[in-house]
Structure 1
Amino acid sequence: MAAMSFVSALCIFQLTRNVFTNPDVRVNKARRSSAVPENREEGYRYSQHCFRKYLSGRRPEIFPAVNNFFSKADDSTK
């Protein structure tokens, strides 16, 4: 039950985020008038959100401490 609630909450969050912040979704009539909107900066802000900027500077590791433990050479094994 908890897993399904969590997944449902994630789906609702993503759908709400897309409706309100996605530059390609036009809900009101004023924005629907142009077929191809000129909104590069709005699209960049949408695609490069804070979480993605945080992850872009990090190494792609799941458990960095475990990886470092097994990849470092011990001085005692020489």
Structure 2
Amino acid sequence: MASSTTLKRWLRPEVYPLFAAVGVAVGICGMQLVRNICINPEVRVTKENRAAGVLDNFAEGEKYAEHALRKFVRNRAPEIMPSINSFFTDPKY
């Protein structure tokens, strides 16, 4: 009986955006966790890699830090909607 009242309370159309926002946030956190575990040069999961100690492998660290998204946005303006921003800020003569 308690479960039916809980479902009636939380599974309403007004709560769907909240579920979507929390789902996106959990997805981003999970993606970053998997990225760090799989390709971060400072994270060593296996025993053999942990026994190696501190490695000065700067090329691998640079490859990890300069990922594709960072290269894509490097020379772009920090705007979300540039066409709307330029419409309202640039004077038309």
| Common fold: TM-score over 0.5 | yes
| Greater relative contact order structure (CA < 8 Å, 6+ sep) | 1
Secondary structure of the 1:58 match is coil
Query: Partner residue of 2:23?
Result: 5
Aligned residues: CA RMSD: 1.3
* Structure 2 gap segments, 5+ residues each: 1-18
* Structure 1 gap segments, 5+ residues each: none
Structure index of larger Rg: 2
* 2:60 counterpart of 1:18: no
Higher helix share: 2
Taking structure 1 as the reference length, the TM-score comes to 0.83
Aligned mates of 1:68, 1:51 — CA distance in 2: 24
Taking structure 2 as the reference length, the TM-score comes to 0.72
Task: Report the identity percentage.
Answer: 40
The runs of at least 4 consecutive aligned structure 1 residues that moved more than 4 Å come to none
